[in-house]
Structure 1
């Protein structure tokens, strides 16, 4: 457990809140409810840390990130157990998250050495000759990061890695329900030799502490992953600060009749995409549209695969499903399922609570107006709707307030290109489920799904200022 950093926060805080295991609902420990003053003090410390960070060479920042990645690799089982403890994520998936974090920080170490500007031909403009000109990127200062519960280590790394790679300091306000992974990461950076206070974790109530980050003049950028409602509020209040927002989604998938021979394999991938970590994933496969010629065959494979998933202790190697994050979410998801059935949807399988989780649930031919279709369920629920053709699927997939990821399985090349170009999302995955993210790829949404881009190289560009420099050598 990341006890040393917690003890420091606890020593500074008079108030705590209980942290619970989502699967058992048992108390894990008390977490410091940091005050606004503690956040302000953290910002002041970050100012001092920033002066040290920007003085480091890109090679030095790269080596710190690489050493942090190595430390996590050497202690990956401990990191995985912490993720499972605080999030209820099955241990196999927690190990996968740790492996991704190792790679995320390694990518950041590589990109730290590569961020570079460009030379500009000034003589292309009238009277511009006699000058050498170029651009450079400079760190912006202090980054405030607010992170969600569902990937408590890797989504923190996606904000911290780029921020440190370019020479910024960063303060992370992790989700109240999953602070331990972010705190454990502080230990890794300390071991790697990161300047003191260049990465700080402040625990406690999100809206209150987040408002301090929003309002403080010394915080140059905010990066947030969470709900569209909170994201819109942050953007409306952030003024001239840089902002990156990774928000909601209800990923859609189309399955064409041209892949008839692969329906069993696709069903297996779709089950993983829909039900991994109880569907508590930003790009969870939530809406599946299947060509009418193969819809019944696909649904047979899909139902069988979903019903084979096992619910149990997340520390068990064979567990697929576990308790959802809290009882409030559990009740909401069940209510949404009931609403869809009242709206005329057919319940294919599941639909009920199971201990502190839910049965994997498949609904058929769900109306577009039902919450299960038009909102983000963030639970183990997926709809399967029959469509006449790819054009009908495209219209249904785009009929959403969200636009993060979408996928399609098709062997029809013109159809694949049409879907790739016309789907209104940030990322299109052809012959993959939309629940796919590699940690170096650009990642950002359209519509209510976000503002700005993550993915190491792309996030770095949003955490710097570009400066133009011209040298008049004829003067």
Structure 2
């Protein structure tokens, strides 16, 4: 299977090839795999203008018509799933099995949106709460917010783009999207498939663009919502410049998992290995901090290190590969530097630690100083470390000692400890007897603190992309 020599951008539903200015590299070989059209500021401005024109016809589409567009995407993604997986493996360096898994989630997300497209409900509300409101009745419904701006990241270039595009189509919002410059191909293929439908002209534009040239995605007041997934540094800056529009941010994390004394060790080891090292650790809910009860610490550590050493690192096209390259050499160098700094400040290396170019081995440490970047910041790569704890309260406090709060995982069979974690952990979600890396695409997903604002998960994103319109009726 091969990529095309060049891919277009999509402006107002139509493919255009004004240039081939953006090189997309094979993240394993480092060679240019294909070239993509890059949008300039004038093209972005035109796309927003078309989205404004499309707002009314999109809002007037019947529910079944929006659903049909989404089901068309489901069917076409299913037909082209191997092509999508291969494309993802090349542009992101994601191991082929993880790539196939993400295609499956892409299909799930669009299918969920198709189902929700015909469930846009409201509420009849009693208003006669006092004598002055006797005879009044209230009814509210949800209406599309209008043109939306989407900026998606490199690590899940299919499914995280889908979590913006599919809800927008479900509610009837036109959109302009900027995919990550390092991984634009998946979003472009979505544009190709959407262009096969009869959506109103201007309903979508998919525009790879440089960061310097893409300010209109954030600052243009014609756009009514900005949904960004990416780094906290960039996300909070965008929010500060977004003006009056609604902003949804899905940002970073340094996720923790707690393994209590009553956990099934073999099961917990398998899930922690997955959570820490799948797709080279490049997930905002990847396991970074591994808290283990003192009573089982040594046994768990031995099993975890032994299992981690079995992971195959290398060519992401190889079916046996579990850890592929990081997105680029610079990112691998950054994380390698954090590991070396932690070791210089007293951390012990349990396994891994080697780096060749963008390839960083699956790395485990212990005794990491709490003030190091490896503990305080988001590793976003194949590195994690163990922390010993003695009491459940101590473990919860350690998890909360973070500027992030996306998801946490806990392995315990004690129902009251589960309730304590749910009540006290300052995170967007608690996952019981699994890692924080677990996500189903219809659940509310998002974080608190520096991890962001708002929630994704199709139905919850649809709420952000709509506004409540109230109707009050006086009977006389």
TM-score (norm 1): 0.96
Cα displacement string for residues 270-307 of structure 1 (whole angstroms, at most 9, x for unaligned residues):
00100001000110000001001101100111111111
SS in 1 for 2:257: strand
| Other-structure match for 1:231 | 235
- Tell me the CA shift for residue 66 of structure 1: 1.6
- Tell me the CA shift for residue 397 of structure 1: 0.7
- CA distance in structure 2 between the partners assigned to 1:7 and 1:150 by the alignment: 20
Cα displacement string for residues 299-318 of structure 1 (whole angstroms, at most 9, x for unaligned residues):
11111111101112211111
| Other-structure match for 1:21 | 26
Cα displacement string for residues 348-396 of structure 1 (whole angstroms, at most 9, x for unaligned residues):
0111103531110001121111111110011100011111121111111
Is 1:301 the counterpart of 2:314 in the alignment?
A: no
- CA distance in structure 2 between the partners assigned to 1:396 and 1:7 by the alignment: 46
SS in 1 for 2:8: helix
- CA distance in structure 1 between the partners assigned to 2:159 and 2:84 by the alignment: 11
| Other-structure match for 1:377 | 379
Q: 1:225 to 1:442 in 2, by over 3 A?
A: same
1:204-283 matches, cutoff 5 A: 204-209=209-214, 211-259=215-263, 262-283=264-285
Picking from 131, 137, 146, the partner of 2:136 is 131
Q: 1:220 to 1:4 in 2, by over 3 A?
A: farther
Q: 1:120 to 1:8 in 2, by over 3 A?
A: closer
Query: Given that residues 15 and 34 in structure 1 are in contact (C-alpha distance below 8 angstroms), is that contact kept between their aligned partners in structure 2?
Result: no
| Other-structure match for 1:434 | 436
Would you say how many aligned residue pairs link Structure 1 and Structure 2? 471
Is 1:387 the counterpart of 2:389 in the alignment?
A: yes
Q: Show structure 2 runs of 5+ residues with no match.
A: none
- Tell me the CA shift for residue 8 of structure 1: 6.4
| Other-structure match for 2:475 | 473
- Tell me the CA shift for residue 38 of structure 1: 0.6
| Other-structure match for 1:323 | 325
| Other-structure match for 1:346 | 348
1:154-233 matches, cutoff 5 A: 154-209=159-214, 211-233=215-237
- CA distance in structure 2 between the partners assigned to 1:125 and 1:89 by the alignment: 60
Range with bigger deviation, 423-432 or 14-23:
14-23
Query: Given that residues 2 and 180 in structure 1 are in contact (C-alpha distance below 8 angstroms), is that contact kept between their aligned partners in structure 2?
Result: no
SS in 2 for 1:285: coil
Query: Given that residues 2 and 187 in structure 1 are in contact (C-alpha distance below 8 angstroms), is that contact kept between their aligned partners in structure 2?
Result: no
| Other-structure match for 1:453 | 455
Query: Given that residues 68 and 192 in structure 1 are in contact (C-alpha distance below 8 angstroms), is that contact kept between their aligned partners in structure 2?
Result: no
Q: Show structure 1 runs of 5+ residues with no match.
A: none
- Tell me the CA shift for residue 7 of structure 1: 6.8
| Other-structure match for 1:102 | 107
Q: 1:186 to 1:4 in 2, by over 3 A?
A: farther
> Please, what is the CA RMSD of the aligned residues?
1.6
Structure number with higher helix proportion: 1
TM-score (norm 2): 0.96
Q: 1:8 to 1:113 in 2, by over 3 A?
A: closer
SS in 2 for 1:54: helix
Q: 1:78 to 1:155 in 2, by over 3 A?
A: same
Range with bigger deviation, 151-160 or 194-203:
194-203
- CA distance in structure 2 between the partners assigned to 1:8 and 1:243 by the alignment: 24
